[in-house]
Chains A and B, each alone.
Chain A
Amino acid sequence: MNWIGDNLGLIWEALREHLYLAIVPVILGLIISVPLGYVATRYSWLANPLIAFGGVLYSLPSIALFIVIPAILGTKVLATINIIVALTIYTVSLLIRNVIDGLRSVPPDVRQSAIAVGYSPLHRVITVDLPIAVPVIFTGLRVVTVANISMVSVGAVIGIGGLGELFTLGFQKDFLTPVVVGVVLSLLLALCADLILVTLQRLLTPWARVATPVGEVA
């Protein structure tokens, strides 16, 4: 317990770095996969290869990706950007399937109605298609956010790992407290992120709450 009190600064710094390393890739990944998913639904022959390719990318071990990326990008092995790029790749490879499935779940008659009342394509995608796809996209977003948060700590093996650095510290000093603190904070971070996403989804889809009021036959 003394250790925690004496090292609050260190713990806080690790937590801050962890959050940054986990969340930035989720945002980047979302920004990449939504347009990509849209293109894949426009040109549907693209969809299955994209999903399959994503599956292969997602099966790559994170530590391998953390190390191979600098070889491809020409960045230094011990640079933060490697973790960001690696986790962005994971995010896109998982999210692309959900974006495609979500956009496909838009009923054709809804889309036709939007076109009929004069929505421009961009306007329609943003105000009609995407909101309908939100629940499916958010399912993937939740999975990938939690996975990213746990994966960041693997970066500690190559010296950049947010809370993961507490693991290596505890291991080197043969001292359990930092490791437990790291694991607990990592779990809490994942829990909080998940709750925020659930809340965000509820805010983004207000009709989902109205759709099944008490007593209505589902």
Chain B
Amino acid sequence: MWQYLTDSYNWSGNEGIWARIVQHLWYTFAALGLSVVIALPIGLRIGHTRRGAFLAINLGNAARALPSLGLLMIAVLLTNQIGFLPVLIALVALGIPPILASTYAGLSGVDPATIDAARGMGMTGREILTKVEIPIALPLIISGVRSATLQIVSTATIAALVSLGGLGRYVVDGLKLRDFPQMFSGALLVALLAIVLDAIFALIGRITVSPGLNAR
């Protein structure tokens, strides 16, 4: 395995490790961005109006039971193509529930007295949302995006099953060729990528969360 990873030949070029990492990150962030764009407004709306809470809670739970591989295969067979689109659909389907559920949970956890106080100060609904509810809910929203990222980055590995690139290529090709060092290298790189992304989100969480929330 070390031999594979330390051979500079394997790192460069169109099918080198760097290129695969970039592809992997591209699938991850495309899916993550789309998930956020879809899930965040819905989660904020449900959390702000408190309507549809049942949906938000149960969607989060049910989604944990969804087998990602089956989702991808269904997306492939329904769109009738292999490639980026079905992968994107499957990854977005995995990314939406954690973001939606935690955005709702974050907003619903805001103390009603705080919201009353904001209203008493003359804030409009929009101001309450952007200046009170979102900042207070931010730690939970970020942790939702964080778990969506982990889900997506590890599932992006299976994109290789449907002829895409990314780090999953090493796993799938290695398996086919019985080239186990290549498989291990791919798996290890995915794990490292997940850990790095997780650390980045932990850092973002620490930087963006209002200092007022940590003060006792």
Residues of A within 8 A of B (CB): 56, 59-68, 71, 77, 143, 146-147, 149-154, 156-159, 161, 163-164, 166-168, 170-171, 174-176, 179-180, 182-183, 186-187, 190-191
Q: How far is the CA of A183 from the CA of B65 in the complex (A)?
A: 9
Contact across chains for A64 and B77 when beta carbons are under 8 A apart: no
Contact across chains for A157 and B161 when beta carbons are under 8 A apart: yes
Closest to A161 in B: B69
Contact across chains for A187 and B194 when beta carbons are under 8 A apart: no
Does B184 sit within 8 A of A, measured CB to CB?
A: yes
**Binary per-residue interface labels of chain B (64-95) against chain A in the complex, 1 for a CB within 8 Å, 0 otherwise:** 11111111111011100000000000000000
Total inter-chain residue pairs, C-beta < 8 Å? 131
Interface residues on B, range: 35 or more
Contact across chains for B195 and A59 when beta carbons are under 8 A apart: yes
Max chain B C-beta neighbours (<10 A), residue from A152, A163, A170, A179: A179
Contact across chains for B180 and A186 when beta carbons are under 8 A apart: no
Given contacts A171-B73, A174-B77, A176-B78, contact A154 B161 (CB under 8 A): no
Contact across chains for A150 and B187 when beta carbons are under 8 A apart: no
Chain A nearest CB, measured from B133 CB (Å):
26
Contact across chains for B158 and A170 when beta carbons are under 8 A apart: no
Chain A nearest CB, measured from B198 CB (Å):
5
Binds A, one of B40-48, B149-157, B207-215: B149-157
Does B190 sit within 8 A of A, measured CB to CB?
A: yes
CB neighbours (8 Å) of B65 from chain A are 146, 149-150, 186-187, 190-191
CB neighbours (8 Å) of A62 from chain B are 154
Main secondary structure of the interface of B (DSSP, over half): helix
The 6 closest A-B pairs by CB, nearest first: A61-B154, A190-B65, A64-B187, A183-B70, A153-B67, A67-B187
Known contacts A60-B154, A151-B67, then 20 further A-B pairs from the complex at CB < 8 Å, ordered by chain A residue: A60-B194, A60-B195, A63-B154, A153-B69, A154-B69, A157-B158, A157-B175, A163-B67, A167-B70, A167-B73, A170-B77, A171-B73, A171-B162, A176-B77, A179-B70, A183-B74, A186-B65, A187-B62, A190-B65, A191-B65
CB neighbours (8 Å) of A157 from chain B are 69, 158, 161, 171-172, 175
Q: How far is the CA of A125 from the CA of B74 in the complex (A)?
A: 48
Contact across chains for B157 and A61 when beta carbons are under 8 A apart: yes
Q: How far is the CA of A158 from the CA of B174 in the complex (A)?
A: 10
Chain A nearest CB, measured from B95 CB (Å):
15
Chain B nearest CB, measured from A139 CB (Å):
12
Q: How far is the CA of A65 from the CA of B154 in the complex (A)?
A: 11
Does B117 sit within 8 A of A, measured CB to CB?
A: no
Given contacts A153-B67, A170-B73, A183-B71, contact A59 B184 (CB under 8 A): no
Query: What are some 22 contacts across the A-B interface (CB < 8 A)?
Result: A59-B195, A61-B150, A61-B153, A61-B191, A61-B194, A63-B157, A63-B168, A63-B190, A64-B191, A65-B187, A68-B188, A146-B64, A150-B66, A150-B68, A154-B69, A154-B158, A158-B175, A179-B70, A182-B70, A183-B66, A183-B70, A190-B64
CB neighbours (8 Å) of A158 from chain B are 175
Does B101 sit within 8 A of A, measured CB to CB?
A: no
